[in-house]
Every structure is written in C-alpha cells, then in structure tokens.
Amino acid sequence: MKIAFIGLGNMGAPMAANLAAAGHDVTGHDVAARPDGMTMADSAALACAGADVAITMLPNGDILRAVAAQIIPALPRGAVFLDCSTVDVQSARDVAADARAAGLGALDAPVSGGIGGAQGGTLTFMVGGDADAFATAKPLFDIMGQKAVHCGPSGNGQAAKICNNMILGVTMIATCEAFALADKLGLDRQAMFDVVSTSSGSSWTMNAYCPAPGVGPKSPADNGYAPGFAADLMLKDLRLSQDAARAADADTPMGLAAMNLYRTFVEDEDGAGRDFSAMLPRFEGRHRG
C-alpha cells in the first residue's frame, strides 16, 4: 500500500519503519523529526497525494484537528485516515466525521505497548470506526502490532484506551500506597509480593510491573524508575479520562483522585520524566498528613 505517515516521534518513527520494512511504500512528514532512512515530504498534504492510507501519530487532539484539516482534502476518495494518537474522544469523533464527509474511511486506533512495542511491532490497537476501514487497515495493524480489537464506532478506540489507563493509574497508586503501608508495618516486600500476587489484591501492576525494586519480574523499578511508561503520559491519559467523564456525566472519583496525585507528582514534585511506578518512592518518603 501507499502510506502517508504524519508524526514521526518516539512512537511514529519505529511504526513507520516497520511498515516500510514490510514492503509498503511509506512517505513521512513531521514538523521537526527527520528519522534516518525515511522518505519525507515537505508537507502533510504532499505526503498524502495518492495514498491508500494516511496514519497520524501526534501529541494531542488540537494538533490532530489541525493536521486533519490539511490531509483530508489531500487524500483520494476511498482512502483510509487512521489516527493512532491518544486524543480526547470528541476530537476523534469530529475528525472521523469530517473524513467520512469527504468520502474517506476513518479509524481511531490508539495503542498500548509504548516505545518498545512500537519498535518490536508488538503494539495493541484499540480501534473505533467502520468495519470496511478496519478490514483495510488490518494488515497494517498486523505489522505494527500483535493485536487489534475493533471496539465499535468512531471514538470507541479512544474510549477503550482511557478507560483501561484509568484502571491502570488507580491500580498503580493502590499498589504503591499498599507497599508503603506494608513497609511501615514491618512487612517484608518479598513477602508482600508473594501474598498479594497470588491473592485477591493481585493486578498487572503488582504481578507484571511491580513498583518495588528487586521484587517480581524485571520492571522500571529495577532501572532507577526510568520509563517505561512515563508519569507524564499517565497524567495525560488521566486528564483525558476526566474530560470524557465530565462530558458524559460519569462519576469517576478514583480516576479523579489518581489524576490529582499524578498532577502533583509531575508538576510540583520530581515525577516528570520518571516511570509512573515511581509513585512508590514518593509514598515511601511521606507521612500521614
């Protein structure tokens, strides 16, 4: 396929490289990044000329809207506009509606798996949009990832992503504060792990991504809390889930508490640039207020 790839940052560059390595004809565009070995166009619109699929991997919904306004008129009718960025549900729905009105297929397909998943082609895609566009994009998902779940109409990919990450943020905080309490009660961290990881308090954050160094499988905690999944990105996703909860009139008190804790950690403390599991050393150093 002829593919335009807009947004060649930490995630987009390796995803585009994997598509090119699989034999697709990929033309990239980015306002700043110039990855080695990638054929580049001078504008997003030029990259889209004659493309079968345009993929975007951009920082936020406002930038997605701006890029969509450039590329929707430039794509041939029948092409698919595939946005893989993590953005607010409303931006995803609005951009998809504009694309459909121009005779394009539209998919929102945010990912989980991070930079390692993008490099290794093992991302998971959560996809909203129509079935025909999903079928067109499926071979591309199979190159860039290991799993693509069709979640329903436009916006539902973003909805699945922010609901998942709201659970993840809340659960990581619960796991970290429980470790900090266990410390103060004199409970050994290995014993804590051995019990909880096989009991009803178990979770992915305990069992697969344990925030305590030297305990459980290898995780960012064993690497000085270098990300991994940065606390800044967790804060972004928790903000998106709170925006969505406000718009949909959903009551999400734990998501709100998690957002406020990550905001304090990233903006007022030393959390920026650290893995989101670095909440454990944060709680360790604190006292009941």
Catalytic residues: 161
**At 210, which amino acid appears?**
C
Report if residue 99 touches ligand NAD, rule: CB under 6 A.
no
The DSSP element (H or E) to which 90 belongs, if any, is helix 89-101
Q: Using CB under 6 A, which of the segments 51-59, 140-148, 174-182, 196-204 binds ligand NAD?
A: 51-59
Task: Report strand pairing: 105-108 vs 111-112.
Answer: unpaired
Q: How far apart are CA 136 and CA 31, in angstroms?
A: 28
Residues 261-280 binding ligand NAD (CB under 6 A) are none
Q: Which of 12, 28, 121, 129 binds ligand NAD (CB under 6 A)?
A: 12
Q: Which of 5, 7, 52, 180 binds ligand NAD (CB under 6 A)?
A: 7
Report if residue 240 touches ligand NAD, rule: CB under 6 A.
no
Q: Using CB under 6 A, which of the segments 109-117, 189-197, 244-252, 276-284 binds ligand NAD?
A: 109-117
Query: Residue count at the site for ligand NAD (CB under 6 A)?
Result: 26
Closest CA to 5 of 14, 17, 16, 18: 16
Which is closer to ligand NAD, CB of 12 or CB of 157?
A: 12
Report if residue 42 touches ligand NAD, rule: CB under 6 A.
no
Q: Using CB under 6 A, which of the segments 58-66, 91-99, 168-176, 180-188 binds ligand NAD?
A: 58-66
Closest CA to 278 of 215, 226, 214: 226
99 with 105: CB under 8 angstroms? yes
Q: How far apart are CA 107 and CA 56, in angstroms?
A: 11
Q: Which of 1, 40, 46, 63 binds ligand NAD (CB under 6 A)?
A: 63
Residue nearest to ligand NAD (CB): 9
Which is closer to ligand NAD, CB of 9 or CB of 153?
A: 9
Chain centre to alpha carbon of residue 141 = 15
Report if residue 59 touches ligand NAD, rule: CB under 6 A.
yes
Which is closer to ligand NAD, CB of 46 or CB of 115?
A: 115
Q: Which of 30, 83, 130, 275 binds ligand NAD (CB under 6 A)?
A: 30
Smallest distance from ligand NAD to CB 268, Å: 22
Chain centre to alpha carbon of residue 68 = 19
Q: How far apart are CA 118 and CA 16, in angstroms?
A: 9
Closest CA to 110 of 127, 94, 88: 127
Query: Exposed (0-12), middle (13-18) or buried (19+): which is 57, by Cβ within 10 Å?
Result: buried
Q: How far apart are CA 18 and CA 145, in angstroms?
A: 10
Which is closer to ligand NAD, CB of 113 or CB of 182?
A: 113
Binding site for ligand NAD (CB under 6 A): 6-12, 29-33, 44, 57-59, 63, 66-67, 85-86, 111, 114-115, 233, 236
